[in-house]
Structure 1
Amino acid sequence: MIPLNHVLSPELTFIEDFGASKKRVLQTIAERLSQTLSDHSDIAIFDQLVARERLGSTGIGSGVAVPHCRLEGLDAPVALLVRLPEAIDFDAIDRQPVDLIFTLIVPAEATDEHLQLLAGIVERVHDPDELKRLHQCPDAASLYQSFSGAAH
């Protein structure tokens, strides 16, 4: 399995307002990711995230969403983690607002390893103790450490 710290970096871990709606949050995520993925525009990333959301919300419950998609021309998976100061409606399966969003972008020809990475992320954020720990992080650096460090 790919270690989480190979796909998530401190530079793509945030505790800040990304917008007041699901659409705006996904736009901000795409903008931030496009700054790292210079060969991919924010519009292309946003379009792929929205296309995946149309298949069904990636709001998995307990205030967590895991938007993800495949992207042509990507060599390796990349992730972004944000904890929002105010929870937003994300059409989650439990109808609860979301404030913790872990976005995973994988190459178009994603392997089983990438799917295992996604499953591992989902499994971790369903742990109430882990969620509490992530919500208590005072800044983005500690959020990154808590999330990536506990994944090994």
Structure 2
Amino acid sequence: MNGIAALGILLALVATATAAGLVWRATTGRARSARRADTVRAAEVGASAFGERATLLQFSTEFCAPCAATARVLEAAAREEEGVAHVDVDLTERPDLARRFAVLQTPTTLVLDGTGVIRARIGGAARPADVRGTLDRILGSDHVTA
């Protein structure tokens, strides 16, 4: 192979990796509507109760660096809205839940409505604006921020 062909292949690989990285960065941490309307019960994930209006169900692991920042974002959102709870589940202790909810990365957050139905999913570090927008959509326009 000559030098020009090798350089062309190298540039194509760099362009492909850059494009993949940009797509990943644009989608991680964003709320997406749930594909399936699964219902989650509090006891199923080891929680005593969920929020009466919505629940931010976070899946983390002990050594996950972005999990702590996501927990702060979700806790703040739960404090702002009456009837919204934040529940954090350590997948190190509950690997069965990773399979059940198809968690491929931590943190992963499921946004549940008041009946426990999964309404949205956030893969990666949650962005405050996305969490707020998702809660606004689930709670409707009649909610009042504390």
Q: Does TM, scored on the shorter chain, surpass 0.5?
A: no
Normalised by the length of structure 2, the TM-score is: 0.32
- Between the two structures, name the one with larger relative contact order (CA 8 Å, sep ≥ 6): 2
